[in-house]
Amino acid sequence: MSPVLRVRDLRVRFGGFEAVKGVSFDLAAGRALGVVGESGSGKSTLAMSLLRLTEGAETTGEIRAGETDVLAAPKAELRRLRGGRIAMVFQDPLSSLDPYLRVGDQIAEVYRAHTGATRRAARAKAVEVLDRVGIPDAARRARAYPHEFSGGMRQRALIAMALALRPRILIADEPTTALDVTVQAQLLDLLGDLRAATGMALLLVSHDVGVVAGNVDEVLVMRDGEAVEHGPVGTVLRAPRAGYTRELLAAVPRMDAPRTAAPTPGEPLLRVTDLRREFVLGPPLRRRAVPAVDGVTFDVRRGETLGIVGESGSGKSTLARLLVRLLEPTSGRVVFDGRDLAGLPERRLRPLRRDLQLVFQDPGASLNPRRTVGDSIAEPLRVHGEPDPGGAARALMERVGLDPRRARDYPHEFSGGQRQRIGIARALALRPRLLVCDEPVTSLDVSTQAQVLELLTDLRHEFDLTLVFVSHDLAVVRQVSDRVAVMRHGKIVELAGTDALFESPEHPYTRELLAAVPTLDPRIPHGRGGALEAPI
């Protein structure tokens, strides 16, 4: 069977920088190809260049979509190709629809541009495809604006736009990266269904090997603009040939990886009782208190790592900040080592600060861009009047795997992973007893992520730390935690030992979450089988 998309020796160059360096592949009708790679691997540029959407880039090689030579196509033909033959779904569903126009009108507009249908027919078509992608009450929702849709629904709407034109190929560039794991599972299911029903080919671009694994037939691994490995998904995942693929797969946290036995739990170091935090939202006169953390109770035992998982909006980050008293609780108690932090004024809290530290999600934002990293690490020591803060900072840098001679460099001169190491060094400077980590590896590439997690595990023993590890990523939490709490809508729905929770979850929401996690096993298309009543 002749391929619907044939790419040969594709090169994309921005000025002196070659983002894609000679990639070739075929894509047959009804098949799916996954493109995986870390940030900067050129995978998104590759996707964009297939429709000649890379502005200011010089593209060479061959892209053939059916009979069309994409790189040589005149404007009119390119327009027919875009959307009509190859449609695209983008990463950020928040910004990829026009905020000023109704969702249905946007789909109708694109449909009319390609088919010349009447306004009325186009509108009917928009409702039809919105219904097809699982938007409930599509006729009414077609009249809504994008901001009235949730992230998952916006992404469905974009898929509907593609679907209306019956393209031969759908390119999905990180389509689920901005979404929660349960929503992700539903969207991936939708893409699979549509592929089976319409016979269109799918090019799925993702940084997440798990997302690609269960949803494609072939996989192409990219690194620095090159395709380092290309083959059937089962072969690549089970018996990778390229060294880089092996490293990448080894770094992915797995739900089935063996775990070391939990240490014997100590007595509670931190006791949280009925903790609540409300935020006052809305315009004046209509202000209302919205609880972000809605009455949680748990203990953190000396020496253990407590994982806290939840999807966006579950209140887990608010909880992290309440534990170290960056936020003041609305009510409830946070008893650390026998003292209630909840009501303490900042002045009385200050001496206790050295025992409670936080590692932030975004290492870029948590370091002052105007101060050298050595200065930032030494700051807590200086505040507490410790001797030789500079020397201690350099020693800490060395301990977290950084060259202490770089103490005089500024944060922007370091990579994301290095910056997170700096953040950890600063948090450890005062030798805290409790370290709260708020999504510490979320903004990092998977291989960097593995290294930072390893560092945290080492330091935990060396510094005799008690850890609270907050993350949306179940596999990561499973890897590092002794016990895990699952949060939803500001409440803890389940709290249990890690093995117990992952092997025999009791709460239906925990089960739903676990079912939605992508696995590396290509034989299990994830999300299927899990009873997901609620549409996105």
- Choose one: 312-320, 373-381, 391-399, 504-512; the region binding other proteins (CB under 8 A): 373-381
383 lies in the binding site for other proteins (CB under 8 A): yes
For the four alpha carbons of 36, 38, 39 and 41, in that order, the dihedral sign comes to: negative
H or E segment to which residue 223 belongs? strand 218-223
370 lies in the binding site for other proteins (CB under 8 A): yes
Q: How many other C-beta atoms are found inside a 10 Å radius of the C-beta of residue 328? A: 14
Question: How distant is the alpha carbon of residue 93 from its chain centre?
Answer: 14
Cα distances (Å, whole numbers) of residue 91 to 47, 104, 125: 12, 20, 25
Please tell me what DSSP assigns to residue 149: S
The footprint of other proteins on residues 51-110 (CB under 8 A) is: 51, 53, 78-84, 87-88, 90, 92, 95-101, 106, 109-110
Q: How far is the CB of 400 from other proteins (least distance, A)?
A: 16
Considering beta carbons, is residue 385 or 529 the nearer one to other proteins? Answer: 385
Q: Dmax of the chain from CA atoms?
A: 78
The footprint of other proteins on residues 149-178 (CB under 8 A) is: 158, 161, 165
Residue from 44, 317, 357, 519 touching other proteins (CB under 8 A): that is: 357
354 lies in the binding site for other proteins (CB under 8 A): yes
Considering beta carbons, is residue 117 or 532 the nearer one to other proteins? Answer: 117
Residue from 2, 74, 147, 338 touching other proteins (CB under 8 A): that is: 147
Give the SS3 label for residue 451: helix
* CA pair distance 36, 223, nearest whole angstrom: 9
Residue from 62, 68, 115, 145 touching other proteins (CB under 8 A): that is: 145
H or E segment to which residue 510 belongs? helix 508-516
For the four alpha carbons of 473, 475, 481 and 482, in that order, the dihedral sign comes to: positive
Q: How far is the CB of 321 from other proteins (least distance, A)?
A: 8
* CA pair distance 348, 353, nearest whole angstrom: 10
Q: How many other C-beta atoms are found inside a 10 Å radius of the C-beta of residue 398? A: 14
What is the secondary structure of 160-171 as a DSSP string? HHHHHT--SEEE
Considering beta carbons, is residue 386 or 521 the nearer one to other proteins? Answer: 386
Q: How far is the CB of 465 from other proteins (least distance, A)?
A: 15
x/- binding map, residues 423-442, to other proteins, per CB under 8 A? x--xx-xx------------
Binding residues for other proteins, rule: CB under 8 A, are 51, 53, 78-84, 87-88, 90, 92, 95-101, 106, 109-110, 113-114, 145, 147, 158, 161, 165, 283-286, 321, 324, 326, 350-351, 353-354, 356-358, 360, 362, 365-371, 376, 379-380, 383-384, 410, 423, 426-427, 429-430
